[in-house]
Amino acid sequence: MTEPSRPAPPPEPGSPTNPPAPTDAPAASSKRFTRANYIDFFLYASAAVSYIGLSIWNKWLLDWIVGPFWLVAWVWGLPALVKLVRHQPIRPQRGRAVGAESTSDS
């Protein structure tokens, strides 16, 4: 005589009942670095290097107030300074999409 087949054991608590298919994973293109990612990395890395480099000679820069101020001023101020030199608006105008052309003939 043969034994009757046993049912599959129940899933462990907390595990999904239906594991996601490989096609449900995020696309590989979402993991690519864009130009904006490189610019952000450059801004934060250059802020850290310049802060550490200047604080070697000026110990008063090693402060809980000066450090965050340095980071914000560098990451926000450097792109704003570049836009100012290029005669570009620092903030986009309200009500208009960035780079959109005006369609009115006025």
Please give the backbone phi and psi of residue 76, each rounded to the nearest 5 degrees, phi first. -90, -40
pTM, 2 dp: 0.52
**pLDDT at 33 (0 to 100):** 78
How many residues are given for the chain? Answer: 106
- 7: number of CA atoms within 13 Å, CB side? 3
pLDDT averaged over consecutive 10-residue blocks of the chain (106 residues)? Answer: 73 67 56 84 93 87 86 91 86 65 52
pLDDT for position 42: 93
Domain ranges of the chain: 33-85
Task: Give the pLDDT confidence score for residue 5 in this predicted structure.
Answer: 78
Residue 51's alpha-carbon distances to 38, 40, 42, in angstroms, are 20, 16, 14
Selection from 95, 97, 98, 69 nearest residue 83 by Cα: 98
- What pLDDT is attached to residue 61? 76
